[in-house]
Amino acid sequence: MGASQQEQGPLRVALLGCGVVGSEVARLLTQQSADLASRVGAPLELVGIAVRDASAPRPLAESVDRSLLTEDAEGLVARADIVIEVMGGIEPARALLLRAIEAGAAVVTANKALLAEDGPTLYKAADTAGVDIYFEAAVAGAIPIVRPVRESLAGDSVRRILGIVNGTTNYVLDQMASTGMSFDDAVRQAQDLGYAEADPTADVEGFDAAAKAAILASLAFHTRVSLEDVAREGITRITADDVAWAAQTGHVIKLLAIAESVTDDDGSHGVSVRVHPALVPVAHPLAGVRGAFNAVFVEADAAGELMFYGRGAGGAPTASAVLGDVVSAARHRVLGGKGPEESTYAALPILPASTAVTRYQVRLAVDDRPGVLAQVAQVLASKGVSIEAVRQPSEAAAPGADDTHGADGGSTGVAHLVITTHAAAEAALAATVDAIAVLEPVREITSVLRVEGA
Ligand code: HSE
């Protein structure tokens, strides 16, 4: 450690995985090798690329020597100073990273699923071995957000993180909003463009966003948060009508990952982490995040509001984050020092999502006769939920109102109400909706969406 550039031999870099991200990591490592050597103070030598089938065709940049491909991942990690894992999945990624750490290598991983499921095992192993573990690419691709939360904000107190951390779902919702297309058509389009997988479950059901939320929450609140601590709801139930109604009321629908400090009824302080679709006011910076882009909005005591924006997926953007981590780990090899260890000193309880304070927008179809609105308002009052606005749009203006017309085109006496509440505990809001649903003049609760970022 601490050797001068003249004394320092090459640092051996092993790459595990050579898909969309891995091939870009290999390209950048080789094409930028001179710059990287100058930034690190030693050459970075790519010594192997572990893949399942070395004979399979794959698009590799000309700068990358194909003879580096190997099916012997274990042998490769044993001879590396820095191991980059971009293969994904839990195994064999976990076993290979642990083996690398135990052998004294620094590790860089983009594996959000592994970190959200079993990050503490890896962090502990890295602490014990005294090596770096970096994972900027695991959350929101190219966007620097792990390092800012882990290091730049280490002297502040984070109150809340609101993130659009899944590009596929943001693309789907944005397409629905801008064209009026259905959820299924928008997913098909996202698949055609290569954003969504053939099986889009991990994205549209919020699993990918939940893993990222767990990682960010752990860092922001110095508390272990795993995937199972995250309350999760995807976007599969969002309809074209929901999206149109959102626009009518001055909102856009986004899949948000929310990690925040909360206090429950007993005064206990804790952390709530949730992923769900939400109405975001059009004036909020997150509302302007279009297409497959990601953004993370952070509220901290001293810093105030911060927003990080960029590409959350894709080969080159994700490789950018990986390479930044590789340079950090490599500099420590040359100059000494070490990146931050896992910080869990706060060990806050994970409080259920029902303790979170939010706002609801409820759409309902009711009999159109005197006194119905008063009945609904009475339920809200009895639950201590304050109304911010009630809208009863004319039928012509109501998205989806066609279904309230009889076969002859005449009105069947149905009115649509859109009720937006002030902030209240999620549990009180949910109980209010349940109580409204059983009122005699209420025909249907058409949708319930949370309003965030107001
Ligand atoms: N599938 C993710 C997305 C990228 O759509 O943002 C990888 O986490």
Shared domain check, 207 and 87: no
Shared domain check, 249 and 157: yes
Residue 259 confidence class, pLDDT cut points 50, 70, 90:
very high
Give catalytic residue positions. Answer: 212
Residues contacting 281, CB < 8 A, separation 6+: 250, 251, 287, 451, 453, 454
Shared domain check, 152 and 172: yes
Shared domain check, 183 and 72: no
**Residue 447 lies in domain:** 356-451
pLDDT of residue 409: 39
| CA 312 to centroid of ligand 1, rounded, Å | 7
Identify whether 427 is part of a domain.
yes
Q: How many CA atoms lie within 13 A of 207 on its CB side?
A: 9
Identify whether 425 is part of a domain.
yes
Q: Is 170 close to ligand 1, i.e. is its CB under 6 Å away?
A: no
Give the percent of the chain with pLDDT over 70: 94
Q: Is 315 close to ligand 1, i.e. is its CB under 6 Å away?
A: no
Shared domain check, 254 and 218: yes
pLDDT of residue 3: 45
Identify whether 430 is part of a domain.
yes
Shared domain check, 372 and 272: no
Shared domain check, 236 and 154: yes
Find the CATH number of the domain harbouring 42: 3.40.50.720
Residue 85, beta-bridge partner list: 16, 109
Q: ω before 92 within 30° of 0 (cis)?
A: yes
From the CA of 197, give the closest atom in ligand 1.
Answer: 1
Shared domain check, 105 and 221: no
Shared domain check, 371 and 256: no
Identify whether 112 is part of a domain.
yes
Q: Is 313 close to ligand 1, i.e. is its CB under 6 Å away?
A: yes
Identify whether 293 is part of a domain.
yes
Structure tokens at 438: 């059983």
Find the CATH number of the domain harbouring 440: 3.30.70.260
DSSP 234-253: -STT--HHHHHHHHHTTEEE
Residue 432 confidence class, pLDDT cut points 50, 70, 90:
very high
Shared domain check, 296 and 158: yes
Whether the predicted pLDDT of 357 surpasses 90: yes
Q: What would the pLDDT profile of 87-125 be if each residue is shown by its tens digit?
A: 999 999 999 999 999 999 999 999 999 999 999 999 999
From the CA of 202, give the closest atom in ligand 1.
Answer: 1
Find the CATH number of the domain harbouring 232: 3.30.360.10
Q: What would the pLDDT profile of 298-339 be if each residue is shown by its tens digit?
A: 999 999 999 999 999 999 999 999 999 999 999 999 999 999
Q: Is 166 close to ligand 1, i.e. is its CB under 6 Å away?
A: yes
Shared domain check, 324 and 399: no
Identify whether 390 is part of a domain.
yes
- Rounded to two decimals, the pTM is 0.94
Give the percent of the chain with pLDDT over 90: 91
Whether the predicted pLDDT of 447 surpasses 60: yes
Identify whether 206 is part of a domain.
yes
Shared domain check, 182 and 112: no
Identify whether 205 is part of a domain.
yes
**Number of domains, the chain:** 3
Q: Is 312 close to ligand 1, i.e. is its CB under 6 Å away?
A: yes
Q: Return the amino acid letter for 250.
A: G
The answer to whether 134 and 126 have CB atoms below 8 angstroms apart is no
| CA 120 to centroid of ligand 1, rounded, Å | 23
Q: ω before 352 within 30° of 0 (cis)?
A: no
Element (H, E) at 186: helix 183-192
Centroid of chain to Cα 185: 23
